């Protein structure tokens, strides 16, 4: 009878367990020195070896001839436990035995001494599923079990366990297994099974498995069923990575603000029975990949895709900004939540698509930043021009001055001559020497990573350059308090330095009272565009 690979290749000794050396070495040492605890808790994500290690530990603790703390797998006890003729290792699935009665039965049972072994071991899997009453019924036994009883609790959701349980167990946290470790285990299993697998295909499987060895072996199983030679193409087909062109089409049309195309794409996918919740989560993953490409130097390690798709992602990443991506993901996340309870999922998805294509209708901060960026790039490309406000020439006395600085007061110094505009700044020059700083959007993008609270305060803001000063214009009254704090001022300075390559001193750009006519070309622009 065919046994699936992950069951057939369950490690039989601690030495076979991959990527959990911090746990297996301790457990083997405890067995070897005869110091096996009365209660263990194994936690960590799925398919990382919790049940496997629980079984090995139960066997090793009872083995007649343990080898360096590992079960020998040869003696009568090891063999009896493996073939089920010895019943002193009891596996309980807490998901289906979660009531107080189940635990009461267990409490009665622990009083009987084991028949063939030194210890009766209870492995309680998915222990977080026990009811509150069941947990309470377990406490006393867990604290002071009879000398012949050991407990091993296992769960993926340790945060759901009461503190009273946690404090009675020796806890081990299983890590996600690295792609390298998964790859070499896959290559080993494939060789033993005579399955021909390319190394890059194994690595792709490892990345799809996201740290879970069980998933990796399952995918290998599926791939070897499809083809004698497992290549990365076979893997992408078997794992459903291929054929995602519609996501790229979706993303292209969204960034080109093309709602009609996006709506007809939804209509087509809906007609093909595509589930809207799945579409939404695929789109979130798609934009997440672009976000990673825009922020990380070696994105390949964090993205699961084929090499061809990676290039396509890079192209899309070049064409968009981080703020837009953040807006897309936020909007799609909201939609994913709404979709769960929606009676008309298609309409919900369509509404989301319209929002994605037209950020202007959203009050979300990232949407506003996306608008500002659009305006800035229109300015840069010369698609929109701004003339200096006429009032300014008539009344030069109302010139604005920097008010609060993070460092010394610029008013004390003679006003420096206006700097020659750099390519990034020369797009808009107002009538006086203040130059609109067009790299501000980029600075805010960096602050979104380095100083989120400050970014929240900055909201809709702009900045001007006056000589060696960068003057920030922000209507939020709390801003002046924030900028006085060293860490926030420093975050801005670093971001500005990274964008301009120059060190500026900071100041606040403050409007004269009553001077409602704006001196902010960007604000003028926003008005202008809004009035179109
Ligand atoms: N660390 C590992 N080394 C080698 N193989 C592993 C490892 N972890 C898991 N496996 C493989 O995956 C299968 C399932 O592992 P196991 O049952 O131990 O996972 P688990 O952590 O208990 O997962 P779950 O939380 O889903 O119960 C094993 O039979 C084995 O083939
Ligand atoms: Mg398990
Ligand atoms: Zn043995």
pLDDT of the residue at 515:
41
Is pLDDT at 248 greater than 60 in this prediction? yes
Task: List the residue whose alpha carbon is closest to atom 24 of ligand 1.
Answer: 46
CATH topology of domain 179-238: Helicase, Ruva Protein; domain 3 (1.10.8)
State the pLDDT at residue 458.
80
Site to substitute for ligand 1 among 213, 216, 218, 219, most atoms within 8 A of C-beta: 213
Number of the ligand 1 atom closest to the C-alpha atom of 52: 18
What's the number of CA atoms in the CB half-sphere (13 Å) around residue 173? Answer: 6
The number of the ligand 1 atom at minimal distance from the alpha carbon of 45 is: 25
Strand-pairing partners, residue 196, are: 229
Q: Among 261-270, 366-375, 400-409, where is mean pLDDT lowest?
A: 400-409
Residue 241 makes CB contacts below 8 A (sequence gap 6+) with 208, 235, 304, 305, 306, 309
- What was the pLDDT predicted at 297? 87
Q: Using the Cα atoms of residue 158, residue 161, residue 163 and residue 165 in order, give the sign of their dihedral.
A: negative
For ligand 1, atom 23, the nearest C-alpha belongs to: 47
Rounded CA separation 238/241 (Å):
8
Q: What are 497-518's pLDDT values in tens digits?
A: 988 888 888 888 876 543 434 4
Q: For residue 408, what pLDDT is reported?
A: 41
**Which comes out higher in pLDDT, residue 524 or 171?**
171
Yes or no: domain 245-362 corresponds to CATH 3.30.450.20: no
Check whether domain 402-530 has CATH 3.30.300.180, yes or no? yes
* DSSP H or E stretch at residue 313: helix 307-318
The closest of 53, 80, 50 to 64, measured between CA atoms, is 80
Q: What is the mean pLDDT of residues 367-388?
A: 69
The average pLDDT across 113-120 equals 94
* pLDDT recorded at residue 521: 54
pLDDT tier at 364 (50, 70, 90 boundaries)?
A: low
Confidence of residue 305 (pLDDT cuts 50, 70, 90): confident
- Is the minimum distance from the CB of 69 to ligand 1 under 6 angstroms? no
pLDDT at 520: 53
Query: Order of strands across the sheet with 89-93?
Result: 89-93, 120-125, 149-155, 39-44, 170-174
Measured in Å, residue 45 CA sits from the centre of ligand 2 at 9
pLDDT digits over 393-435, tens only?
A: 443 333 444 444 444 444 434 444 444 444 444 333 343 567 8
pLDDT of residue 383: 65
Contact by Cβ (8 Å): 72, 63: yes
What separation in Å is there between the alpha carbon of 82 and the centre of ligand 2? 17
Per-residue pLDDT at 426: 37
Mean per-residue pLDDT, 216-236: 94
Ligand nearest to the CA of 31: 3
Strand partners, 155: 43
Q: Which residue has the least CA distance to atom 25 on ligand 1?
A: 46
When pLDDT is averaged across residues 90-99 and rounded to a whole number, the result is 93
Question: Does pLDDT of 523 surpass 80?
Answer: no
Residue carrying structure tokens 């697998």: 197
pTM exceeding 0.85: no
* pLDDT, tens only, 181-222: 999 999 999 999 999 999 999 999 999 999 999 999 999 999
Per domain, the residue ranges of the chain are: 5-174, 179-238, 245-362, 402-530
Residue 320 reports pLDDT greater than 70:
yes
Please tell me the CATH code under which domain 5-174 is placed.
3.40.50.300
Sign of CA dihedral 138, 140, 146, 149: positive
């Amino acid at each position: 009878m065919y046994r699936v690979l992950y069951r057939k290749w369950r490690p039989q000794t601690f030495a076979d367990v991959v990527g959990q050396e911090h746990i297996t070495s301790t457990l083997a040492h405890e067995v070897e020195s005869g110091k096996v605890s009365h209660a263990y808790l194994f936690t960590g994500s799925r398919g990382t070896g919790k049940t496997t290690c629980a079984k090995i530990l139960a066997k090793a603790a009872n083995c007649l001839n343990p080898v360096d703390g590992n079960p020998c797998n040869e003696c009568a006890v090891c063999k009896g436990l493996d073939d089920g003729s010895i019943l002193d290792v009891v596996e309980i699935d807490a998901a289906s035995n979660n009531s107080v009665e189940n635990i009461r039965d267990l409490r009665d049972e622990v009083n009987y001494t084991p028949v063939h072994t030194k210890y009766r071991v209870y492995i309680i899997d998915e222990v977080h599923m026990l009811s509150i009453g069941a947990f309470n019924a377990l406490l006393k036994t867990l604290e002071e079990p009879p000398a012949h009883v050991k407990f091993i609790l296992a769960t993926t959701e340790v945060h759901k366990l009461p503190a009273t349980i946690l404090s009675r167990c020796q806890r081990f946290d299983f890590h996600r297994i690295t792609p390298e470790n998964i790859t070499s285990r896959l290559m080993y299993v494939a060789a033993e099974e005579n399955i021909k697998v390319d190394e890059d295909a194994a690595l792709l499987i490892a990345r799809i498995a996201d740290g879970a060895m069980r998933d990796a072996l399952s995918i290998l199983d599926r791939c070897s069923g499809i083809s004698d030679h497992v290549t990365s193409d076979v893997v992408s087909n078997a794992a459903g990575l291929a054929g995602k062109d519609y996501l790229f089409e979706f993303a292209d049309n969204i960034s080109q603000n093309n709602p009609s195309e996006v709506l007809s794409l939804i209509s087509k996918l809906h007609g093909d029975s595509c589930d809207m919740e799945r579409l939404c989560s695929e789109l979130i993953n798609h934009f997440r990949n672009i976000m990673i490409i825009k922020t990380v130097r070696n994105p390949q390690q964090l993205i699961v895709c084929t090499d061809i798709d990676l290039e396509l992602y890079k192209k899309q990443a070049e064409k968009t900004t981080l703020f837009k991506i953040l807006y897309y993901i936020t909007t799609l996340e909201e939609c994913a939540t709404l979709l769960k309870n929606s009676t008309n999922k298609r309409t919900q998805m369509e509404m989301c698509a319209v929002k994605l294509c037209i950020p202007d209708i959203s009050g979300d901060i990232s949407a506003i930043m996306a608008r500002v960026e659009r305006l800035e790039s229109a300015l840069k490309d010369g698609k929109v021009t701004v003339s200096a406000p006429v009032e300014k020439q008539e009344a030069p006395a109302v010139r604005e001055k920097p008010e609060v600085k993070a460092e010394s007061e610029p008013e004390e110094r003679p006003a420096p001559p206006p700097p020659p505009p750099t390519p990034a700044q020369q797009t808009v020059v107002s009538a006086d020497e203040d130059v609109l700083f067009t790299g501000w959007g980029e600075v805010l993008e960096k602050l979104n990573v380095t100083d989120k609270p400050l970014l929240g305060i900055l909201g809709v803001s702009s900045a001007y350059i006056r000589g060696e000063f960068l003057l920030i214009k922000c209507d939020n009254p709390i801003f002046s308090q924030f900028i006085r704090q060293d860490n926030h001022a420093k975050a801005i300075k670093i971001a500005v330095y990274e964008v301009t390559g120059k060190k500026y001193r900071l100041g606040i750009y403050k409007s004269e009272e009553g001077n409602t006519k704006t001196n902010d070309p960007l604000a003028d622009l926003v008005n202008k565009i809004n009035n179109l």
